[in-house]
Chains A and B, each alone.
Chain A
Amino acid sequence: MSGFGFTEEQVLRYSRHIILPKIGGAGQRKLLDAKVLCVGAGGLGSPVAMYLAAAGVGTLGILDFDRVDLTNLQRQLLHDTDDVGRPKVESAAERINGINPDVNVINHDTVLNSENAFEILEPYDIVVDGTDNFPVRYLVNDATQMLGKPLVYGSIFQFDGQASVFMPGQGVPCYRCLFPEPPPPGTVPSCAEGGVFGVLPGIIGTVQAIEAIKLIIGIGEPLIGRLLLFDALDMEFTTVKLRWDPDCPVCGKHPTVTELIDYDMFCGLPSGRPPLEAEHGVATTVEA
């Protein structure tokens, strides 16, 4: 494979990609040169990071402030039983380099906030959202819109999942075109109450890995302007249309959100409120 600068080992390692007409040596080179940030090393982040590593994405940033907990292992394949108590970025880096030592893993053992988001996201070509809460989802959406970077979105609750691709700029939808504001605290059931089917993030995270690779190589039809909905119990995939909202607070014609916002972290109900999503709505969150 002269011209692409592969080592002999790389030619073998990526041979099944290289012989694929839509990927080939040129596509594999793009993967090796790509820089992807995975926000969250949990349920969604696990398949995202592992498949992107195996595919040969050259630089993988892993952002997570958390430590591995026994309750994570039902779904978070990046981490082993022996990793309980370790920082997730450390066990994630080990797993990634075990899969593919070509990958340069960059650990961000921190909480993403309005102060550090631009600096952390800036070096990356694509951001993959594998967070577990609304504040960081809005932060990642707003920061990628402002920096002009594609965002591969995924979210899960119990047996349901969603995925999409948000491109920056006017004319194409972002997360705020779909949900302009986070739901008010007190409208979500508690995290532990929510629960999540362990295999579900495997499906949604794998869809996110596929979309990231398609964006890097420039093939196929990414989930831009479409929202994929997955129902594990009915085993049904549906897509609905996502439209750009000219009144979107971030990517609309007259943006009202022009700097990053730290929404209050909330997960569950403030004391004294009835544990009833029907009171106010149905927005939900699931935690580690």
Chain B
Amino acid sequence: MPVVVKIPTILRRHVGDQPVVEGEGATLREVLEDLDRRYPGIKRSIVTDDGDLHRFVNLYVNDEDVRYLGSLDTKVEQGDTVSILPAVAGGF
């Protein structure tokens, strides 16, 4: 069941410069693993070696922060949109 994953500019080079990709899986973790099979390297940008979310990256399923849903074990369904939000400091 594909979910839509929106890729921020900084990570698009992992996915052939696409702004949006589709991923398969019942949970967020499965979706990221699915993406990583096709786009190696993307998971490490989001998940630590211990399997947790990096503290300076937030993930949203639709408009909800997954830290308040179940983190990487959050269930996803067809039609859900996953957004990846890295900390960004620029202003000048």
With A158-B9, A181-B56, A240-B63: A286-B90 Cβ-Cβ less than 8 Å: yes
Interface of B is mostly: mixed
Chain B residues 54 to 80 lying within 8 A of chain A, measured CB to CB, are 54-58, 60, 63-65, 68
Distance between Cα atoms of A212 and B90 in the complex (Å): 19
Chain A contacts for B10, CB-based, 8 A = 157-158, 160, 189, 277, 282, 284
Chain A contacts for B19, CB-based, 8 A = 231, 233-234
Q: Is there an interface contact between A284 and B86, defined as CB atoms closer than 8 Å?
A: yes
Task: Give the number of chain B interface residues (Cβ < 8 Å).
Answer: 31
Interface residues of A (CB under 8 A from B): 40, 42-45, 72, 76, 129-134, 137, 154-160, 162, 178-183, 187-189, 194, 196, 201, 227, 229, 231, 233-234, 238-243, 277-288
Distance between Cα atoms of A223 and B10 in the complex (Å): 24
Chain A contacts for B46, CB-based, 8 A = 281-282
With A183-B87, A277-B10, A282-B11: A42-B60 Cβ-Cβ less than 8 Å: no
Distance between Cα atoms of A239 and B60 in the complex (Å): 10
Chain A contacts for B58, CB-based, 8 A = 178-179
Expressed in whole angstroms, the minimum distance between the Cβ of A74 and any Cβ of chain B is: 11
Chain A contacts for B60, CB-based, 8 A = 240-241
